[in-house]
Structure 1
Amino acid sequence: MPDSRHSVSVAGVVVDDRGRALLIQRRDNGRWEAPGGVLEQDEDIITGLCREVQEETGLDVTPTALTGVYKNMTRGIVALVFRCKAEAGSLRESDETSAFRWVTADEVAELADEAFAIRVQDALTMSSTVPIRQHDGVDILG
């Protein structure tokens, strides 16, 4: 019988006054992504989002909109992605992050795998309908 458990993660696309998104470079694999991670079992969504962004960037953020729901079909991870505004703090590296970069929607496509770039692009373009997408960990499916 297949494993029916899923993991829920959150990511915060922090947008600056110039309309650019903050990417982190992950220390474990060198990939560029929006900051985020897996929710803890007893943690609500917004608390977990703010904790993950703060741990990985040093920034305190306020989420302003849910901008997408994504499922990694290979690993069974459902990700909720939010557009965020930085309220306080300053960028600092952590055990999980080795670098930061502010990027446009076009620039993120050059740095990140499609499955992660689309999350940032969706947050930057913010349509009236929240996209729901599936991927295999790298590429968007169907």
Structure 2
Amino acid sequence: MNESSRHSVSVAGVILDDAGRALLIQRRDNSHWEAPGGVLELDEDIRAGLKREVLEETGLRVHVGDLTGVYKNMKRGVIALVFRCRIAGGSAQVTSEARDIRWMTAEQVRALAAEAFAVRVLDAMAHPPAPPAVRHHDGTSLIDE
């Protein structure tokens, strides 16, 4: 297998509040609104990596719940595992990786986040919870199957 045929694995946590809103961050590197998360380290457990990424980006400790979707960026070869989370401690704050942090309704997520990242949050916000989604995108928009 050559280097260009490898995939990387990322994780994201959709933190929901009692009102059903989701916590999104505005990334410092590209200003995009997304659920907190990032690339797993090679020797890192999936849930531990998710907890680390959420803490680094939001200042929150979380309990990791159900897997809500698997998403592949077809251009970059990134597979993202998205989990529903709830707050275990800490306080939400801007960080070196997040220039802003907001609780959002589904309508706000649709308005502010690119489709490929909004759908991850919307899938996790589904009520009643649905089986995990499996979706593909080009980095911005979903790709029809």
Fold-level similarity (TM above 0.5)? yes
Distance 1:114 1:96 in 2: 21
Counterpart residue number, 1:25: 26
**Cα deviation, residue 63, structure 1:** 1.2
Letter in 2 for 1:70: Y
Give TM-score, length-normalised by structure 1.
0.96
Letter in 2 for 1:135: H
Aligned-residue CA RMSD in angstroms?
1.2
Give TM-score, length-normalised by structure 2.
0.95
- Taking every aligned residue pair, what percent have the same amino acid on both sides? 60
**Cα deviation, residue 107, structure 1:** 1.1
Distance 2:72 2:120 in 1: 11
Counterpart residue number, 2:91: 90
Where in structure 2 are the equivalents of 1:63-142 lying within 5 Å?
63-125=64-126, 127-142=129-144
**Secondary structure of the corresponding residue to residue 48 of structure 1:** helix
Distance 1:47 1:87 in 2: 14
Letter in 2 for 1:138: T
Distance 1:11 1:132 in 2: 15
Deviations 1:106-129 (A, max 9, x none): 110100000000000000005432
- How many positions carry a matched residue from both structures? 142
Letter in 1 for 2:5: S
Letter in 1 for 2:77: G
**Cα deviation, residue 3, structure 1:** 2.0
Distance 2:48 2:3 in 1: 31
Which stretches of structure 1, 4 residues or longer, exceed 6 Å deviation after superposition? Answer: none
Unaligned runs of 5+ in 1: none
Distance 1:15 1:65 in 2: 12
